[in-house]
Every structure is written in structure tokens, then in C-alpha cells.
Structure 1
């Protein structure tokens, strides 16, 4: 069989799971990087004398950078290789974190946070595809969920370190710690992460494909057939034309809605709980419950996809998220019930994000995969950036926390509608006519 079929249908090896673990670590760094500004916002605001609007832009700056990085870097990965672009993105991230720590003004910090986001955007698009390409069909959803769980772990680590480091070493220490961790990940990626076999196969580099196959424990008993004919260059025009147009637009809408709901809940929950009448400490605990639930949600989603279609699981998660969002805020008068529902909100919304990272790469052929994922992530940044800003305006206009959570619930539930008709792309590689055979079941 072909190398792609071999990876898709044979058991996962130890090295393949190690690659998933490395991807989880890289995503944990992304989670750390993205919440670093939130945990340092009070200290930064005090030092630079920031207004609420300035702080809002500062909190959104890395998200803006992610959109830029996803659009600019992701298509290059389909042309020059996944690993090369991951290394380039990590280098950009390292520079952004380091310079953020040494920023002397609001303008400098804003600029370097955008640069950090560009690196994170490139990492997200490329690593998501690598996870999909090095996992067999049966455990692809679970592998993606393990990878996605890293975000919550990294965000939690940042919060713990912020509580310990900022009073003693200042807000700069959080960015410097992130830079050190990124440098470690850069070295680990150089040493341990192989290049994508799908990319190498498309380039006709058979010797490199066989070398990586031996490295991940697949031996050499396979063919390296060329993939189905694909465009010479991977760009947005290809995924916005022909049979890919409808799929791309649906994924863009779904990704944007989920991202908007996710960022609304994670960024505004502490503040909205205090607006509802709870103490600041209770607001913080509510935010922590969402982060904790997020890590669990990724794993639960992944386990479910080993038995249930990934898209159907995502639809169910989005509808349940809408219900629990409303229940969470209406239970604020009973803090213990609210905290329990907060875990559910984090679990379901993070499961939805994991679902989008699972479903999106499956919808495209190899040559368009990174461009498809990168563009979806880039478009979804609009929801990520706009949601916190719009909520601020609505709150000033007199919207209650219950009304805001209900509005977010409606948006999240519309994801189920947007995903109607999205299917996994499958292309069988056949070197010569053969009789149909029933493939052996995948065993772990």
C-alpha cells in the first residue's frame, strides 16, 4: 500500500504518539503566550497608565497577529514544508516574547504583541496539520484533542506563574519565562519533529519519505505513489473556487462563531460575574473553572471521536454549549452550581474548538490542507478580536450579563447550521487496478 494508506490504517507507534506529545507542548506554549497579556494586564496598565480602550487593544493585539500569521505563513508551509515553517514561526514567537519583556512604552508592547501573535498563528496552522498527518484514521480525533488540551495546560501554567512571579519580579518575568520555554521548544522541534510525509511525497522525495517511515516505525514495505493531481501552488484562490468554495465558506463561518463564543467566555467571564454582583474573587474562580473544564473538554471530544463521527460530535457540542452558557449565568445566584456549570462551559466550548481543528484539515486534500486550516484560523480571528470589543460596547449600552450570555449562546448554536454539508475528503491512491478489498480494522 501507499505510505499515506499505511499511516491511516495501521496501529499508532510510540514515536507517532511522541509527535502528538510534542505538538501538545507547542500548543501549551501558544496558550501561555495568548493569556500572558491578560494575567499581566493590571501591572502593565498601572505602569503605563493605560485607559480601558488602550488595554482592550493590547489584549486583542496577539489575536490580530494570529490572523496575520495564519494567512501569511500557512500557505508557505504547503510550498516549503511544515517543519520549516514551524521553526520560522517559533523564531518569530521567541523574538516577540523577548522584546515584549523589554518594552518601555505602550506602543512598543502593542507592536511586539502583534509580532508574537504572528508566530503563534503560524504554529497553530502548521502543527494542527502535522497532528492530522501523523495519526491514523481511528485515533485522529483523539490525537487532535490531546494536542488541543495543551492550550488549557499552558494557560493555567501562566496563571500560576503570574501569581508567583509578578509580585517579586514584575510583569516582564512572565514574558521572559515564555521566551525561555519557546527556546526549549525550538530546539526540541529541530531534533525530534520529522517533516510531513505528505509534503515530501508531493515533492517526489521518496528517499526522505522512507527515512521518516523507518523513524516512526513503519518500515519500508510500502509504495510512494504520487498524490492525486493538485495545483502547483497552494493559495486562497484554490480553496475559494470550484468544489472547495462551499466547504471553505462554511468552515470559515463555523470557526468564527466558535472562536467568538470561546473568547467571549474566557475573557469576559470574571468581569461579567462581578457585574452580576459576585465578588472579584468569585469572578476569578469562575474564570479558572472555565480553563479547567477546557482541558477536560478536549480529551472528552477526542475519546468520543474514536466511536462517533467528528463532525456530528462537534454539532452536538455546539448545541449543548448554547444551553450550558445560559444556565451558567442564570445560576450565578448559587455560586457552587455556577462553578460546576462553568466547568461544563469550558469543557464544551473547548471541545468545539478542538472539533474545528479536527474537522477542518479533514475537509481538504493534502496539497490544500495547511492553506485551508490557516485561512480558517485567520478568518476566525475576526470573531476572536471583535467579540470582546463588541461585548464592551454592549455592556456600556446597558445589556445585562444574562442578555450577553444568551446572545453568545445563539451564536454558538448557529455553528451546527454552518456545518451542514461539510464532509471529510478522502482520496484513494491506486497504482494499478485491483479488486475491492475490505481493509483490516485499525488496532492501537
Structure 2
């Protein structure tokens, strides 16, 4: 890779850093809005969900235009729109206004992020494609951690509005940098297809047929359950922890540290995915997550112990977002990888939609902090059960590739 490619990948990773900070911004702002504006934190469940709806809509309806107009156009435009909408969020004065701005922010991010993932794979050397994808997407836990750690200082200088100024301005700067660094043109290998070739136009349909339906179901189900945990925890953790005796500033810092731990867990698990057994690696990661939340559930609030457990639990949820796309590289052949990851992320949004309203329901019913966090063990345990099926899912690819090889040998015989 040359210097321009490395710089481009660094800027693309910056988009994920910005997304992580942006996700955290709303959750960090919510407990402060009650004092500043008299808004009840429990009324923000659909505000968190609005971002996810926007992400799903932008990903499904706008992001595919990158195949027609080029990834650079969608990435730059999406980053700029994200920055402007995030800055717009700082002007909101009611729950409804927050909801509208977060919906628009999500749509802009949804248009941008799938093209960022696709372009990072295209820029990477083939032998490092999965690794590069994981490293670029690692920007999300980095952004979440930065937001949590710096939130007290940002709020002290700029009030709660600063939590949106920072990612908004960063997104605009990234858009300018990407405009300069990225090359234009259509995606590599993009060519007009014959009018009747539905499979060529919609390659994702192959995921819904044998032999790929079972591997895709395993992959997408883990993504969905993990996304439920990811958005449940990152939406409400800064609101829930003060109920256990932490100050708002301490809760923000604990959230940041827990998310930063996801970077280390994700890299370690990715190395195991590449060099060890895939199923046991995922069972170990998700099993440790479940155990950490159960430990919180059965213990009295203890800042030190809870922080350690949240580093395993919340960090593990963030790591799942890094590790699972890498698993897809082993479940599916290269010709199907983009479709598998793209459709899998769309399915994951369905799981993510459940997280914020679930947290809102528990808050409205005054569920104690221990039980609130203990509930996160359930999706983690579901992922452990699904991970038991990974070896069988991997075997499907081996069987299919053997069939294709036999067919090719017969043709050339």
C-alpha cells in the first residue's frame, strides 16, 4: 500500500471514530438535559431508536447509490450531511426536535458507512482485507471511549451542546479531507449487467437460498443480538450508573473506559478467529460478556468491581461489532462478502432497534441498576448458543467449494 492509500484508510477509519463519538453524544447528553432543559431522560427512548431507523433507511435506500455514482460521492456527501445534522442536534429544544435531528443524522450515516466499509475492502490488499476491515471499524469503540473520557471537560467548556459540536465539526473536516484524498469513479469491477440477470443485480438473494441461508442466519443472528446489547448499553449506561451511586462525570468516564476495552478485546478475538477455532473463540467472548453482566446482577454497586465487569461486558459488545464481519470472510466466498456483511448489518439494525426502547421500559418501571445491567446477559447468552452452530456453518462453505471444484474439474476433463 502506498502513502495515499494509507492516508485514505486512516480518514475512512475517522468516519467510524466520528460515528462512535456521535452514538455516545446523545447518551451522555440525556442525563444532563433534565437539569438544563427539564426534559425527562426516560422520554428519550425513541430518540435513540430514531438514529437506528435513519441508519437502516440510509443504508437500504441511499447507500446503494454508491454503486452508480461512486463511493467517493456517497462518502463525502454522507460525512458532510452527518456533520451538519449533528451540529443541528445542538439546537434542539424538545424531545421531538431531538428525534428529528437524530433521524436525519442516522440517514446520513447510513448512506456513508456501507460505502466506507466497501471502499476500505477495495483499498486493502487481498491477503489483508478482513484485517483492514476490522481495524477501520475499530474506530467505533475508539470514538465511544473518547466521548466518555472527554465528556466532563467538553461539557465544562461548552455545556451539553459541546457533545454535538465536536463530532459535527470533526465530520465536516473529514468530508473535506476525503474529498481531496479519495479517487473518483465507479467502484472497482462495476459493470452494467444484462437486463435479465436478476442474480447479478441482486447478489444478496443468494444469501436466502441453500447452501448459504444457514451460514447467513448464524452470522446475522449473532449480529442482531449483539447489536441489541450494544445500543442498550451505550444508550443508557451514563443514565443508569448514577442510580448506583456514581456521579455523572464518573459514569461518563466509566462508559469511556469500558468502550475502550472493546478495542483490545476485539483485536485479541480477531487474532484468535484468524489463527484458532472460530466457534470456541466466539463462545469464549460472548460467554465472558454474559458472566460479567450476571456478576453485576448479583452484587451490590461497587465502582471498582463494576468498572472491571463493564470493561468485559460493554467492551465485548463493541468487540463483537469488530469480530463478526471478520467471521463473514470465513463463512462466505469473496464474491459474496460485501452482500453478506451489508445485509447482515441491515438485519443487525433490527436487533439494535430493540435496545433503546427496552432500556426506556426498564427506566420507566424503576428497574434497579443491577437488574438493568443484568438483563444484558440474555442477548450475550443467545450469542453463545448461536456460536455453537458456527462449525456447521463453516462446513457448508467447504462442501460448496468442493462441489464447485468438482464441477470445474469435470468441465476441463
**TM score, norm. by length of structure 2:** 0.80
* Aligned mates of 1:48, 1:267 — CA distance in 2: 19
What does 1:22-421 align with in structure 2 at a 5 Å threshold? 22-136=11-125, 138-159=127-148, 162-194=151-183, 199-203=187-191, 231-234=199-202, 237-276=205-244, 283-308=251-276, 313-360=281-328, 363-364=331-332, 369-394=337-362, 396-397=364-365, 400-419=368-387, 420=389, 421=392
- Give the helix-richer structure, 1 or 2: 2
Contact 1:125 1:374 (C-alpha < 8 Å) held by counterparts: yes
* Aligned mates of 1:130, 1:384 — CA distance in 2: 24
4+ residue runs over 6 A deviation: 424-430
Distance change >3 Å, CA 139–CA 196, structure 1 → 2: farther
Contact 1:325 1:345 (C-alpha < 8 Å) held by counterparts: yes
In the alignment, structure 2 segments of 5+ residues that lack a partner are: none
Partner of 1:224: none
Distance change >3 Å, CA 78–CA 138, structure 1 → 2: same
Deviation at residue 176 of structure 1 after TM alignment: 3.1
Contact 2:45 2:359 (C-alpha < 8 Å) held by counterparts: no
Q: Report SS of the residue matched to 2:200.
A: coil
Distance change >3 Å, CA 88–CA 174, structure 1 → 2: same
Cα offsets for 1:89-128 (capped at 9, x unmatched): 2233133123223345443332121110112223332222
Distance change >3 Å, CA 179–CA 120, structure 1 → 2: same
Distance change >3 Å, CA 242–CA 122, structure 1 → 2: farther
Cα offsets for 1:173-225 (capped at 9, x unmatched): 4323322211211122222234699x422428xxxxxxxxxxxxxxxxxxxxx
Q: Report SS of the residue matched to 1:201.
A: coil
* Aligned mates of 1:350, 1:176 — CA distance in 2: 24
Please tell me the root mean square deviation across aligned C-alpha atoms, in Å.
3.6
Partner of 1:215: none
Deviation at residue 19 of structure 1 after TM alignment: 3.9
Cα offsets for 1:212-256 (capped at 9, x unmatched): xxxxxxxxxxxxxxxxx9833237645434544333333332111
Distance change >3 Å, CA 55–CA 326, structure 1 → 2: same
Contact 2:69 2:185 (C-alpha < 8 Å) held by counterparts: no
Distance change >3 Å, CA 134–CA 336, structure 1 → 2: same
Deviation at residue 31 of structure 1 after TM alignment: 0.9
* Aligned mates of 2:129, 2:34 — CA distance in 1: 43
* Aligned mates of 1:279, 1:175 — CA distance in 2: 21
Deviation at residue 32 of structure 1 after TM alignment: 1.6
**TM score, norm. by length of structure 1:** 0.75
Deviation at residue 361 of structure 1 after TM alignment: 6.0
Distance change >3 Å, CA 261–CA 188, structure 1 → 2: same
